[in-house]
Amino acid sequence: MDIRTKLENDFMKTLQAEGVDGSEVEGIKPLPWYPENLAWQSNFSRNQLRKNQILERFHEFLKLQNEIGNITRQEAVSMVPPLFLDVRPEHFALDMCAAPGSKTFQLLEMIHHLADPGTLPSGMVLANDVDVQRCNLLIHQTKRMSTANLIVTNHEAQNFPSCHLNRNFANGSETQKRELDINQLQFDRVLCDVPCSGDGTLRKAPDIWRKWNTGNGNGLHGLQIQIAMRGLSLLKVGGRMVYSTCSMNPIENEAAVAEVLRRCGGSVELVDVSSELPQLVRRPGLKKWKVRDKGMWYASYKAVPDNRRGGVVPGMFPSGKTYADASEQNDDATRAQLSDNGNNDTSENDMPVLEDSAAAATILDDEEVSTLPLERCMRIVPHDQNSGAFFIAVFHKLSPLPASAFQQKKPVSLREKLNSSNIQAESLTTKVKEDENVEDVKPVDSVGNEDVTMDDADIQAESLTTEVKEDVNVADVKPVGSVGSEETTTVDAGNGTDETILDAEPSETLEKKEKDETQPSTDTRAEPETNRGKRKLQMQGKWRGVDPVIFYKEEAVVGKIKDFYGIKDSFPFEGHLITRNSDMNHVKRVYYVSKSVKEVLHLNFLAGQQLKIASVGLKMFERQTSKDGASAPCIFRISSEALPLMLPYLTKQILYASPADFKHLLQYKSIKLGDFVDAGFGEKASQLLMGCCVVVLNKDNKTLSEAQADPSTIAIGCWRGRSNISVMVTALDCQELLERMSMGVEEETDSSLPETKTLTAEADEIVEAEEGEVKEDTKQP
């Protein structure tokens, strides 16, 4: 019985008839707009779940399933944006601002939808977040998915690298460059859930009432546009991007969407998704709004005083017009009055959030109405469908973005305009003097030519003229003189500067580097061609505090693992194994990556390690460090996460257990070979080699090969010791499996086992090591 069936047949009927705290409420129900009844909503408060006796069993069920990873608890409305992405298993998807990871989890579910046992989808998900601590939370959330199709990175979203590869000057051998299918990072789907003021979460975060002010949304407007533009530049032509916020502020929503459309011209369109998710109640986007700043309401940009034009920009208004000559149209008295009002020292924080709109000063002028199809945006409000508030816009990329999309002119103030002619003349003269070839100087007008187009990968979002802060940590780059230190990175200051502007003609920067020295690589062991430089390359990787990603190519060790478990030759091993430890003699964990992730890792290496990878791959094998583990023929055991993928390919070290014996293993954690209910099972177990083994539950009298190919098969990793079999899964996993078995397997008596059962010293050591693994840091070792 699966979780959905249990919710429908057990909890839904039981809780519906119960009265909680003296009132009858609809306890749980499926969300009508979520496909296949895979999302459910609970109307119980946190206090009710914790303190009410009636809800105790339901609460324990939620906690256990959430910890195991079978369910994810999140705000219902935040599940909406990934649904509009229309992700399919073959897609490359990017989650630009992914933490804490609930939406990333949804994307992974879509990628793995309908995948056969032992197979991986051809697509992948790349989840990114700017904050290291939030990346750790993201890794913890997605770890429960046990996927080989995920990469977690740590970058500023607006400066996310595209890993553009110039094959003439890239690292690696010519064979590697020819075999690589991709030459830059581009995605079929991009989720752009940008940072916002969060005023749509007032119901669950009432403290926002006290902290909120208009400066929050105005201050984030520019960053939101930068992130959205970067997302569109990384999106493939024909791809779809979803822009979303948990805010109702039009400055963060419709204004940002309108500005993106204006910059992209006809290369991007807003998609009308009104026919998708028909049971989701939504409202159309706004076509007109005013901008509030320092206690004033402005209906158009020409009403904004000069001293406030740094914080209020044209893109915040429906039309987006700059009104560069507005200062000439307004008389001096009006301009002076506006300046006085703008200099008001009263802070928004000192003003009540709810105020009489009639009392607020308003500069009306001509109220603007956007001509863009912003009604295609979606506004979800709490009182329509008992949810939080959310804003969603869906973009479709029709063609490469124009170069002018990233060359926006700064709004001209009155003071700047008065001095512009002198400054422009002086700067132009200086420019001509500095350039050796006067004919190479382009006229100013040619910069904004909308007919000029560039490849998206050669466009740096918004801040192309500034150094990318996240791409190379300047503080982490050591000068050339410090290369000899054991704790230094291998990238010198010159390299760091060259790689900051990732997409601006990489051929020039890489050509210069190749003349000077060899670039450091992510996998110096796997790619020996890169070790020919004069300096000894360190093995810490490019990014300080982040372990390198190294392809694991120890053929002797891999061969021993394949022989010990009898892994079929049809399982793709070559090029799919990685480790995060540069010392091949002390590798503790070996990870497995899908073909799509492997391609991205190779691209990242050849392009100069532009991606700061926090986590990648599915943990497949782990070195057993116990005393008995060291003496086993194979010291690497199969991890629990990798069992679903590996099970169809195993031919050795595998046992088929009856429900009674399987249940006893979960209950007692360790059983002597002669104490199993089925004597034949104990005899087969004694014939296994000492070391890791897999025990499969025989619940429907299928053959072992049939059970291995069944996605619903339950299997656990165990350790075959000298005289016993010990379970190698956590206590939580054991508890969850026992509950699943109790739904479909009749209760068995324990009379066949001795009354007293204690863990042997060997089993105790193994189980403690396994449970201690869960408490480790979420970072990959």
Told to judge if 246 belongs to the known catalytic residues of this protein, a careful annotator would answer yes
Cα-flanking dihedrals φ and ψ of residue 719, to 5°? -120, 120
Answer for the pair 152, 139: CB distance below 8 angstroms, yes or no. Answer: yes
Residue 480 in 3-state DSSP? Answer: helix
129 carries a ligand binding annotation: yes
- Return the half-sphere exposure (C-beta side, CA atoms, 13 A cut-off) of residue 438: 5
3-class DSSP assignment, residue 301: helix
Give the pLDDT confidence score for residue 252 in this predicted structure: 98
- The distance between the two most distant Cα atoms of the chain, rounded to a whole number of Å, is 100
pLDDT band at residue 340 using 50, 70 and 90 as cut-offs: very low
* Residue 703: partners with Cβ closer than 8 Å, 6 or more residues away: none
The gap between the terminal CA atoms of the chain, to the nearest Å, is 36
* DSSP sequence for 545-578: TSPPPEE---HHHHHHHHHHHT--TTS--TTTEE
Residues 701-720: what's their mean pLDDT? 89
Residues 6+ apart with CB under 8 A from 356: none
721 has binding-site annotation: no
Cβ(121)–Cβ(150) under 8 Å? no
The Cα–Cα gap between 576 and 562 comes to 14
pLDDT digits (tens, 9 = 90+) for 163-211: 887 655 555 555 555 566 778 899 999 999 999 999 999 888 889 888 8
Determine which one of 135, 163, 192, 246 is catalytic: 246
Q: Which of 318-332, 519-533, 617-631 has the highest mean pLDDT?
A: 617-631
Print burial letters for 183-205: b (CB count within 10 Å at least 16), e (below 16): bbbbbbbbbbbbebbbbbbbeee
Angstrom distance (rounded) from CA 319 to CA 305:
18
Q: Is the pLDDT of residue 489 over 60?
A: no
| 347-360: b (≥16 Cβ within 10 Å) or e | ebeeeeeeeeeeee
Ligand-binding annotation for 534, yes or no, is: no
Could you give the CA distance from residue 490 to residue 322 in angstroms, rounded to a whole number? 47
- Of residues 321 and 261, the one with the higher pLDDT is 261
CB-based contact 457:505 (threshold 8 Å)? no
pLDDT range class, residue 408, cuts 50, 70, 90 = low
| Structure-token match 């690696």, residue found | 172
Q: Is 173 annotated in some ligand binding site?
A: no
221 pLDDT higher than 50: yes
The residue assigned the tokens 């003189």 is 481
**Residue 136 CA neighbour count, 13 Å, CB half:** 8
Q: Which of 45-49, 175-179, 584-588, 711-715 has the lowest mean pLDDT?
A: 175-179
Is 103 annotated in some ligand binding site?
Answer: yes
Does 99 count as an annotated binding residue? yes
pLDDT at position 780 is 65
Length of the chain measured in residues: 781
Please indicate if the annotation marks 2 as binding a ligand: no
pLDDT in tens, 291-327: 999 999 999 999 999 999 989 999 999 998 876 544 4
